[in-house]
Amino acid sequence: MEIGGIVQGVGFRPFVYRLATRLGLAGYITNTGSGVVIKIAGPAEAVDSFLTALRRDAPPLARIDSLQQRPAAASGPATVFVIRASDGRGRSTTQVAPDTATCADCLREIFNPEDRRYGYPFTNCTNCGPRYTIIRSLPYDRPRTTMDAFPMCPACMAEYKNPHDRRFHAQPNACADCGPRLSWQAGDGSRPAAGDPLARAAAALENGAIIGIKGLGGFHLAVSAYSAPAVATLRRRKNRPAKPLAVMARNLQTAQRLCHVTPQEEELLNSYSRPIVLLKKRRAAGLAENLAPGMAELGVMLPYTPLHHLLFARPGVPDCLVMTSGNPAGEPLCKDNTEAGQRLAAFGDGFLLHNRGIHTRVDDSVVRVTAGKPAFLRRSRGYAPAPVRLGFELPPLLAVGGELKNSFCLARGRDAFMSQHIGDMNNPATFDFFTETVERLQVLLEIEPRLVVADPHPDYLSGRFAEQLGLPLVRVQHHWAHAASVMAEHGLDRALAVVLDGSGFGPDGTVWGGEILQCSFHAYKRLGRLAPLPLPGGDQAARQPWRMALAALHLAGIDEAAATVNLGAVAGDDQRLIREMMAKNVNCPLTSSCGRLFDAVASLLGICHVNTFEGQAAMELETLAAAALGGASMMNCAAGRAMPTAALYTEKNGILEASIDQCIRYIIEKMTSGSAAAGDIALFFHLFLVFCCGNMIRYLSRRTGIDTIVLGGGCLQNRLLVEGFLEFFAKSHLKVHINRQVPANDGGIALGQAAIGGTHVSGDSHARH
């Protein structure tokens, strides 16, 4: 039998060996480029039991996606079952296992003084440890990983060869006698001749120092999460004035003391993937206030390597550490000791290093529980490059994704392999990381694309890269790709889509971002939008929400006196210049962007006039609205409020258009009269979007006969919006779907690009537009 899926590097061969031996079956198992091949011989009853247990009792990290079996030709009397050497011939179609958190068995060993791996920071077994980050090629065997530099000692080799040992055929198996080792480097680059590296790191953290830590997929910068001055120093060094910083808590109990943790969030924190989980902060928990200023939530993860656990066990180490990515702002994660010494020297007061190579850099994943289930904000460590399984076949292709929060997709058959988080492509180092990862994943998965799919934006580096490949190129409109990513996840053929996003290139020459679409994988049609706003200064308006506040007032026809509400922090000359630009229509392209509308309202309310990071104004506006909502549901909240329902939308030239001017006038009236607090106005704005877009969809559903709805785009990371839409459409008896396996932001559009591009190659001439 031939088995495909995640069956290499997860203890599958040892599991099969033990199962076959217990049932008295003869034969063999071997790794191949497409997964594993098993041959068994024995009584029919034992064979049936084997097939049942193969799926039921597979190792926790294994995933069987396909199993093809056929009668085996007789090959002489076989009396035992064996694990054969891997067969590296043929094209690889197997899957690469993601990196996983340290298992309970390995943890017990590193904290047991009687165990030979006591205190060893690179302990692993077939159920845990590095995978994707160390693999150079398949089949998955030690010589094809960065562990090839560490020959196993006799004790480790004995474990490796013992079919009854947990480390039977564990490729990264190592111990203190033969495996990787830690070292400490001072901030000035010097290396002390003696001393315990962990002790030096612990002392530095206890004294408020910032240290770099080489981890599983790259470097973190760590500092006490309780010291506001230390956090401020880290922010200054990284030029990161306000963007939230993630933390690592010593254990679940620490996380629960610092934040509210639901059962779903607890499950995520303790999962093999160990993502960063957004949790609601507790008041007076003692954490530095500047960890996530203006936010009610904090990104929290638990230790996921033996090194993390051992560091937290050292006396004096705070039980909660900032663990932010080790990279200069906008650049990829550092992964090599030499690279970190060059790029992170100005950030850290010392560096905890090791000599196990990281072949592939991988950032932490970020997840938020929305409507009771996980939703990705970033899909990376612990998940990539495991594929999204599709309900249809795709030819070998590459979808290059977008420009911000980039990840790409390599697809083949029913598998869409999403890369780890790449980042924002406007940085040369990030673009180099993108091209490097495309090449490496193509080699690793042995996918030779026959087609490349890209965004139509003329200035996207990902699109220019696609043009240079010399392959047939399909360009897929940005927001259609957002919608298609949801459809591909859920196996939908057609849907009405609400895509609320920051920006995307529209075929009419304007900047899209608040769209109602009718979609299939073959074609799309724009049926509605948010009323266009001027974008004074183009891209500069995305960085300065006060410009969008003036644009919203301009659209609503509100006079100059009202325009100064909450904009006193913005120089009067700057305001006058923007008004003149809009009056003369100079460098003021139009946009239907929902993200820019969030910016406008946040600035009008005096929350945020300048975005120091992408999405800042929108995140702070959501936080304010969530505080006003309390624990109530969006629909129950709306039922108790006087929601303006007249003229929520109009129809212009056959396209429904949200009445943004009415929304802005209502907001200004409440502000100037003082009849509503800022939080209540922020909540009203969220409700307006839900009711306005929801009513447009309800009308279009009746008109088109389509009752399946998908929600996508970066603004649909907003929990209030998502839960509001889900409640609204449930009352309307419409079936609604959101992204669950990939992010709703641009980190997920490559999946939609792949689905549409593959349809195009299958012969549909309308896939392009």
pLDDT in tens, 190-223: 777 678 999 999 999 999 999 999 999 999 999 9
Name the range with the highest mean pLDDT among 222-226, 427-431, 441-445, 509-513.
222-226
At residue 644 the predicted structure's pLDDT band, cuts being 50, 70 and 90, is low
Per-residue confidence (pLDDT) for residue 93, from 0 to 100: 61
Domains and CATH numbers, the chain: 2-83 (3.30.70.100), 182-354 (3.90.870.40), 530-738 (3.30.420.40)
The lowest-confidence range among 30-34, 508-512, 642-646 is 642-646
The lowest-confidence range among 150-154, 318-322, 408-412, 669-673 is 669-673
Does the pLDDT value for residue 765 go beyond 50?
no
Provide the 3-class DSSP secondary structure of residue 433. helix
Per-residue confidence (pLDDT) for residue 768, from 0 to 100: 40
Per-residue confidence (pLDDT) for residue 567, from 0 to 100: 79
Spatial separation of the C-alpha atoms in residues 552 and 206, rounded to whole Å: 50
Which secondary structure element, helix H or strand E, spans residue 353, and what is its range?
A: strand 350-354
Number of helices followed by number of strands (H, E) in the chain? 23, 29
The lowest-confidence range among 67-71, 83-87, 460-464, 659-663 is 83-87
At residue 764 the predicted structure's pLDDT band, cuts being 50, 70 and 90, is very low
Per-residue confidence (pLDDT) for residue 95, from 0 to 100: 78
User: pLDDT higher for 407 or 637?
Assistant: 407
Strand partners, 181: none
* CB burial string 521-546: b at 16+ within 10 A, e below: bbbbebbbbbbbbbbbbeeebbebbb
Name the residue among 6, 16, 118 with its Cα closest to residue 62: 6
Name the residue among 179, 117, 125, 124 with its Cα closest to residue 147: 179
Per-residue confidence (pLDDT) for residue 76, from 0 to 100: 57
Per-residue confidence (pLDDT) for residue 288, from 0 to 100: 97
Spatial separation of the C-alpha atoms in residues 423 and 380, rounded to whole Å: 11
Does the pLDDT value for residue 7 go beyond 50?
yes
Per-residue confidence (pLDDT) for residue 92, from 0 to 100: 57
Per-residue confidence (pLDDT) for residue 94, from 0 to 100: 67
Q: Mean of the pLDDT values across residues 279-298?
A: 95
Could you give the strand order of the β-sheet that contains 26-32, starting from the edge strand earlier in sequence?
A: 63-68, 2-6, 35-41, 26-32, 81-83
When the pLDDT of each residue in the chain is averaged and rounded to a whole number, the result is: 93
Per-residue confidence (pLDDT) for residue 260, from 0 to 100: 98
The DSSP code for 663 is H
Residues 6+ apart with CB under 8 A from 470: none
Per-residue confidence (pLDDT) for residue 562, from 0 to 100: 56
Does the pLDDT value for residue 470 go beyond 90?
yes
- pTM for this structure? 0.93
Per-residue confidence (pLDDT) for residue 766, from 0 to 100: 37
Q: Mean of the pLDDT values across residues 686-703?
A: 96
Does the pLDDT value for residue 300 go beyond 70?
yes
Which secondary structure element, helix H or strand E, spans residue 684, and what is its range?
A: helix 678-704
Q: Mean of the pLDDT values across residues 370-379?
A: 97
Q: In this predicted model, what pLDDT tens digit does every residue of 586-622 receive, in sequence order? A: 999 999 999 999 999 999 999 999 999 999 999 999 9
Q: In this predicted model, what pLDDT tens digit does every residue of 9-27 receive, in sequence order? A: 788 988 999 999 999 999 9
Cβ atoms of 179 and 150 closer than 8 Å: yes
Q: In this predicted model, what pLDDT tens digit does every residue of 623-636 receive, in sequence order? A: 999 999 998 888 88
Q: Mean of the pLDDT values across residues 459-485?
A: 97
Note if the bond before 532 is cis, omega within 30 degrees. no
Does the pLDDT value for residue 318 go beyond 60?
yes
Per-residue confidence (pLDDT) for residue 345, from 0 to 100: 93
At residue 566 the predicted structure's pLDDT band, cuts being 50, 70 and 90, is confident
Residues 6+ apart with CB under 8 A from 257: 282, 285
Q: Mean of the pLDDT values across residues 722-739?
A: 95
Spatial separation of the C-alpha atoms in residues 620 and 563, rounded to whole Å: 21
